[in-house]
Amino acid sequence: MMDFIDKTFIITGASAGIGKALALKLASQGAKLVLAARNQDALEKIADACIQSGTQALSVPTDVTKPEDCCHLIEQTVKYFGSIDGLVNNAGISMSVRFEEVKDLTLFERIMQVNYLGSVYCTYYALPYLKTSKGLLVAISSLTGKTGIPTRSGYAASKHAMQGFFDSLRIELRGTGVDVLVVSPGFVATDIRNRILGADGQPMVTGLPKGQKDIMSIEECTEQIFRAMQERKRELVMTSQGRLGHWLKLIAPDLLDRIIYRKFLSKLD
């Protein structure tokens, strides 16, 4: 079981949603936090909240699509705290449009840069310090990193890339003391849908899906991630439907496709 007291954790995408909630949870457990995102004002407010809980926190404005920003994030962490015990790669953006309706193909590049390459860059610069501390790497992926979802093609591709990258890295790091956890949430009640990209590559407000019954609260999602980190698990697939879908893809992939179609597209066709 991992003890978080006085351990230094970096969280990307910490200005809202899962990143913010996880920062507050780790702060309550005595962890020292380095919070990264593009929104400096939001970061400073969350850092202040962490400090008020009795721990230390540093906000570092970061655009994870820029390798130099990611390098700066790691350098500032080591300069301020002296070590790195965990890196949570959480920064992410999504999309909601059928592929044939896309008007701006650069949205695929942007999603891949944030969700996948941002994780690669931060991990690259943090890894030497994580090997020294025998620390923990966390990738906040998605159930779409396990199977494709219509209207989320670019998002699913980026999460599949994350899954493959961190699975490969886990094997490379065997024997080093560094553990790699890949987290695959389903629908979570966060504000990511207020920044989801549409056909023209611009953010649009979609809100939570109407009538959606399987939306997990941010509190439950955070608690599951925290427990998985505490136990230094290799993988966390949230929800029974997510775990069932993982097995159906192996033994009855066409059935899974039909189920996903009925759930996501049948009402639109």
Tokens of 52: 């008020």
Task: Confirm if 158 and 140 have CB atoms less than 8 A apart.
Answer: no
Q: Residue 134 and residue 137: Cα distance in Å, rounded?
A: 10
How many degrees, rounded to 5, is the angle at CA 59 between CA 11 and CA 195?
Answer: 60
In angstroms and rounded to an integer, the radius of gyration of the C-alpha atoms of the chain is 18
Tokens of 185: 């949430």
* Parallel, antiparallel or unpaired: strands 203-204 and 32-37: unpaired
Select which of 116, 121, 129, 155 is catalytic.
Answer: 155
Q: Residue 166 and residue 226: Cα distance in Å, rounded?
A: 19
Active site annotation includes 124: no
Q: Known catalytic residues?
A: 155
